[in-house]
């Protein structure tokens, strides 16, 4: 993963969240767009909570 991130000049952001206390999974998405609303930026991805079902 490191070589891929460095070769494409990407930033890898990891949020441990539930992994500190519960079972986890990987949810890897592609950024498909960026929207700006005033002072806030929103990133559009190709995934949703439908793929990440929680108990």
Helix, strand, coil tally for the chain in percent (to 5): 25, 25, 55
Longest Cα–Cα distance in the chain = 37
Enter the pTM of the model.
Answer: 0.47
Q: What's the pLDDT band for 40 if we cut at 50, 70, 90?
A: very high
Regarding predicted confidence, which is higher, 32 or 9?
A: 32
Regarding predicted confidence, which is higher, 34 or 53?
A: 34
Cα gap 52→25, rounded to integer Å = 9
Q: What is the CA radius of gyration of the chain?
A: 14
Given a contact cutoff of 8 angstroms between Cβ atoms, the answer to whether 1 and 12 are in contact is: yes
The domain spans of the chain are: 25-55
Per DSSP, the three-state class of 40 is: strand
């Amino acid at each position: 993963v490191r070589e891929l991130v460095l070769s494409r000049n990407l930033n890898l952001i990891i949020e441990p969240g539930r992994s500190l206390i519960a079972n986890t999974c990987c949810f890897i998405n592609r950024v498909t767009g960026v929207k700006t609303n005033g002072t806030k930026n929103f990133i559009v991805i190709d995934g949703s909570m439908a793929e990440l079902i929680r108990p």
